[in-house]
Structure 1
Amino acid sequence: MSRFDLNRYKSFLHQLVAEPSVSCAVPSWDMSNQKVIERLANWLTEHGFECQIMPVPDHPGKFNLLASIGAGDGGLLFAGHSDTVPYDEHLWQTDPLTLSEKDGRLYGLGATDMKGFFPAVLEAVKDLDAGKLKQPVMVLATADEESSMSGARALAAAGGLKARYAVVGEPTKMTPIHMHKGILMEAVRVKGAAGHSSNPALGNSALEAMHEVMGELIRYRQDLQQRHQNPGFAVSIPTLNLGCIHGGDGANRICGECELHFDLRSIPGMHNDQLREQISGLLTPIAERRQLDIVFSTLFEGVDPFHQDKNSELIRTCERLTGQEATSVAFATEAPFFRDLGLQTVVMGPGSIDQAHQSNEYIDINQLEPAVETLRRMIEHFCMEETPPA
């Protein structure tokens, strides 16, 4: 295979950065990813891939791309998301939608998280001889990872992803990641009754009920942290953060309504649906005892924790190719969706998560060639050699 072509990489990334594809729960920011998907599909088609552009159900303007080359019942999937977070151009020193280079860095919105992964994949497959493939090579680009993860959820719901190994190219400096925490974000709304503060019988305080709710959540957090620990994480226990609270409208009125938002970051072995059921079970007795309504709702559907056995073929191969031991991260990715579909999965890509979600985002040029070489060698190992079943 030919050497890494930095100018070619920069050309691809320049075009991807120039196509804004913000996904956001705020409608005024949310936009389509169609142009990014179409560019990727055109490039991959030129490399001999068969491409499917799939609309995401119930999300107009949002699309997934699945491209493949070669045949077989296994294969290697390179997966990434096509969207970015919102941006404030006034906080950027350069145009966020124009790729710029300075001091060995490429600056632009999504340069690290994670449009920069796709040009690395394109470099890795540019001289690929389909006739030498014993298993297929696939490339997946998803929608809305930064907001609802609707693209990955749609793919998981459809099933039938015929691959054996998945590389989720989030920025990890090419360190293999074999586990990360899960996350859920929830709201608790207490609906009491307002009244004059001179007589408590005239109302039913939502604030006082919320005080009891918060106490119950703190006790629940303590219980979780006693029962669940994983020394593989920097913070070895699950966390529950009481993030914000709003309620009441005056010191001389009984509070009629109060709302609390919190997040819970779980560790492998815990499941979000079970956690929600447990929390709901804690709130029901409070509502009954105080004779008011407590509504428990989801702010973000959430992501379950991710864990891939360190002794699996994929993780051992990534450790060998990179010379780095697999470890954990605190941020969540789309990896659990691929793992649930039966794929051995690793999170690994160029760039640093420290640059993600902030102004003046960049990717270090010196990380790119080693990353491309690792991806090429993964293709050789998993798709050109005889490998044991997963």
Structure 2
Amino acid sequence: MPLPTLKEQFAALIATPSVSCTQASLDMPNQPIIDLLAGWLHELGFRCEIQQVAPGKANLLATFGTGPGGLVLAGHSDTVPFDESLWQTDPLKLTESGDRWLGLGVCDMKGFFPLIIEAVQPLLSQPFRQPLIVLATCDEESSMSGAKALADAGRPLGRAAVIGEPTGLKPIRLHKGVMMERIDILGQSGHSSDPSLGHSALEAMHAVMGELMGLRQQWQREFNNPQFGVPSPTLNLGCIHGGDNPNRICGQCALEFDLRPLPGMDPAALRAAIQQKLQPLAQRHQVRIDYKPLFGEVPPFEQSADAELVKVAERLTGHTAEAVAFGTEAPYLQALGCETLVLGPGDIRCAHQPGEYLEMSRLQPTVRLLRELIQHYCLEQG
């Protein structure tokens, strides 16, 4: 059976929903996407290994060639949830509009896989001195469980890894970490006419938020990296839920917040600093305070500026490697021994939004760039 065309591959991937979400009601398997990719890559002669991560959730490692070293071209196979009513087109149908392709995941980042296939096809008749590995992971948009499972397995991958997240074809060698945390306070409800009848979880949370904002100011004084557009770490108080009626002392309150540390900031040390602030507040307000991550953090990422992959990517793109605020799977691949870079055709400004698009003018430049990377790491290297 002939391989689908580039556009047909895009359409097939977009039409196969694979939402990853911390809310179980919205979460979906990614196995159908993995099966599609494995089928196409098997037709091209890749050896396809599927790593089961959880029921319905899997990673794909597809390898062409043998030996140590080589190149990993990586991406996640899941998308964020979507609200169809906010889209002007069908989010699960590849739609051409002017000079853009629209669809859920076309930019972030299912579209990277057809571009890899398009790039490698003309090279497959040549001898690969080092292998090419195509990696597709699950759950990047929620728990990072796919990348974590890969890292936990400890299996060495290639010498270099490129993750095709949306960077506008500019190489990215640094990004901030991502920590999403939750604080639950259990107080004592009671009649609002007499404060002595209870212990307000909401008032305790007010004090907690003050301490968090104080830590934010402290960290922003201590840590700064001008390579980032937002050069300091950020802490966003994202959502709060508590109480049920004005005439009751609030018995329960929960806060969820997002912390983006810079490279060099240790997530464990940040959590310890927060915990140290919470303990005296619990005693003062006579409440119970529970603090835990919503899920495991994504560590900050930095690849050295003098790494071979950085130099190669800068030469091929004509852009100096930069930094971004969003998190990726890069630290997990780096932990497996790969020089790692984030580099893909999409625009982060349209990711996670209705009307997600990919500029068609980026298609062929991406194919050329990937082909040159494959030639450098797999055909030319001894």
TM-score by length of 2: 0.95
Matching residue of 1:27: 24
Matches within 5 A, 1:1-390: 8-56=5-53, 59-129=54-124, 132-386=127-381
For 1:169 and 1:274, how far apart are their aligned partners in 2?
31
Q: 1:133 to 1:294 in 2, by over 3 A?
A: same
- Structure 2, unaligned runs of 5 or more: none
Root-mean-square deviation (CA, aligned residues, Å) is 1.5
Separation (CA, whole Å) in 1 of partners of 2:199 and 2:112: 55
Paired residues of 1:180 and 1:329 also in contact (CA < 8 A): yes
User: Which amino acid counterpart does residue 71 of structure 1 have in structure 2?
Assistant: T
- The CA distance in 1 between the partners of 2:255 and 2:335, in whole Å, is 31
User: Which is further off, 274-283 or 72-81?
Assistant: 274-283
Q: How many angstroms does 1:130 deviate by?
A: 6.3
Q: Which amino acid aligns with 1:185?
A: M
> Which 4+ residue blocks in structure 1 deviate beyond 4 angstroms?
none
Q: Aligned with 2:238: secondary structure?
A: strand
Between the aligned partners of 2:118 and 2:297, the Cα distance in structure 1 is 33
Distance 2:237 2:350 in 1: 26
Please report how far the alpha carbon of residue 115 of structure 1 lies from its aligned counterpart in structure 2 after TM superposition. 0.9
Which residues of structure 1 form unaligned runs of 5+?
Answer: 1-6
Report SS of the residue matched to 1:300. Answer: coil
Change (3 A) 1:248 1:91: closer
CA contact (8 A) 1:169 1:347 kept: yes
Give deviations 1:286-312, integer Å, cap 9, x for gaps: 213333210102223221111111111
Deviation of the 1:14 alpha carbon: 1.1
Identity of aligned residues (%): 55
The whole-number CA distance in structure 2 between the counterparts of 1:382 and 1:353 is: 27
Residue 109 of structure 1 deviates from its aligned partner by: 1.3
SS of aligned partner of 2:245: coil
Q: Give distance in 2, aligned partners of 1:22 and 1:60.
A: 14
CA distance 1:312–1:326, shift in 2 (3 Å): same
Give the whole-Å Cα distance in 2 for the aligned partners of 1:146 and 1:281: 30
Structure 2 partner of 1:4: none
SS of the aligned residue for 2:358 comes to strand
Alpha-carbon shift at residue 339 of structure 1 (Å): 1.3
Amino acid at match of 2:11: H
Residue correspondences, number? 379
Normalising to structure 1: TM-score of the pair? 0.94
Shift of 1:367: 0.6
Amino acid at match of 2:12: Q
Q: CA deviation at 1:198?
A: 2.9
- Asked if the contact 2:157/2:337 (under 8 Å) is kept, the reply is no
Deviates more, 1:315-324 or 1:23-32: 23-32
